[in-house]
Structure 1
């Protein structure tokens, strides 16, 4: 598996670098303003394989009561969104893996639930920008192996890992990162027996399967040619990112949680890796992280791969001890 990923990465890098030029993208993106951009090196943006909307985002998803769901195994990961005054919602990674973006509305708040399998980055954003509600799709492009989203209203391109527009009219605009976390389906429904879970989309996909089997045990990321993380941290080790700080998950597990930088980061077993076994439910246990402040309130964070943190926060602080 590792050799196959390395070979595919090399081939795709060679072909993608040759085509990393906005003039060649204008046919597919006639309404994107390539004259406005935060990109200084266009070769950083590569084709991930699928074309624009080749990975279809989900709009206005349907939900069912948590107690009526029988298809999801207990250890499978979900993205949890608990907003004050609203019924908690779970977005299963078995669906997010194949769609990557869900445009939803919770209690009148338009949200984008996002998951980039190549970075293990799962975040929720407020879709309101400058008085306008945006809706997002999957561009088919990657930068530092992270999904490049686009908004349908201005056709601007957005970097998922940082929630910021990097190409187009909205370049420099940042989305509000909302509080959410990844946990197991068992953990969600035990705490929220009356909660809601996103229903299976009406697409012909192998839901519950992981098309990136063995990925998070690889020695190198897919379609990434940047620097490796410092401190000898493997590129595909999970880290807990809060702002511009990153805590290696191995440290959090070994210490039974950490308390520093005015945060309490806890770890609990029971969540399967979505990027290990070909069947998500059979993935090895990577556990669930919760991040809270001094008052016990949940804090926006991300559990991503170390290489992605280093790529997007090159001056970030590594909380190794």
Structure 2
């Protein structure tokens, strides 16, 4: 296993300054009273306190073709709302974990947990009011717990729901995002908007918050203990997981697809998760995986085939439609339609296994 010293040293500043249980407020991070939907004893204080890791509330963007500060192999998370396409480099997000943003009349926050490698976006509207989300300072099974600045409620990022406070049990309305490398993203969307380092904070955005070793596939180290260890895959293997039905609690039916096994080019998997037909598209060398419900709204059965070397086009069907990475038909008789995204996101294997102990792994034909 690779040495954990670099990321531990970095973590001393960000996290280990107060790794205490939820019942200990010695770090100054006050506890919201009331019940929790997750095991209260497993909620730990990350150290910096509420908003000690500052969210970005006035994000600034530049055109992708003009961006030079992102490393070719660094991961970015992309989002598409209407005709607007944006990318959020993880080397910036790692320092802030939450960006409060909007496209038109759709306010949303993009959340990234560096420890679990999960990036998830959701609309930030409560009772008809646009609100901001921030970093609570608490963690559950290595995963980010955001809070909203209206009610003070706290949320599980990976469960995508309120877990404590007035909005407890509230299911968040998520927005599909894509994780891939900067080189792949820039090739696909050279005119997209990219989050800049003009955040209002002074950070080393070229570095790695937890040290470069933490993010390596072969490094099994985690910052906090893993409750449900599962050695079927390496801890840091990046997998795309599909949650059959919400709520995404530990009893949810989940299936994951290892990005490192999709192979060269674009590969499609027709599968069933929770009795629903899904289509999963992925690529090892382009470093992405996405998934959609296979049937369009009219229920027509489409036969998908992969499209090679034409990203962001990833597949076509027997009707002559060509579909992009976000599930939109960009050519053909269904142009403008979108396949419904699954309840899914990408993250480290150890986190998926820890949150969903009964999950299954897609097995590739040998």
Q: Structures share a fold, TM > 0.5? A: yes
Once the two structures are superposed, what CA deviation does each residue of 1:200-248 show, in whole Å capped at 9, x if it has no partner? 1221101021122211432242112302126x22222221111122122
* 1:184-223 aligned within 5 A: 184-200=181-197, 201-212=199-210, 213-215=212-214, 216=216, 217-223=218-224
Aligned to 1:57: 55
SS in 2 for 1:43: helix
2:93 to 69, 92, 96: 96
Aligned to 1:225: 226
The answer to whether 1:315 aligns with 2:358 is: yes
Equivalent pairs counted in the alignment come to 296
Q: CA deviation at 1:269?
A: 4.9
Residues in 2 aligned to 1:315 and 1:134: alpha-carbon distance in whole angstroms: 35
* Structure whose residues are more often helix by fraction: 1
2:278 to 260, 263, 271: 263
Greater RCO, 1 or 2 (C-alpha within 8 Å, sep 6+): 1
1:21 to 20, 23, 26: 23
Aligned to 2:262: 252
The answer to whether 1:168 aligns with 2:165 is: yes
The alignment's C-alpha RMSD in Å is: 2.9
The answer to whether 1:120 aligns with 2:117 is: yes
CA contact (8 A) 2:226 2:354 kept: no
Residues in 1 aligned to 2:190 and 2:7: alpha-carbon distance in whole angstroms: 43
Change (3 A) 1:66 1:238: closer
TM-score, normalized by length of structure 1? 0.81
CA contact (8 A) 2:19 2:47 kept: no
SS in 2 for 1:154: coil
Q: CA deviation at 1:5?
A: 8.6
Change (3 A) 1:147 1:317: same
CA contact (8 A) 1:110 1:128 kept: yes
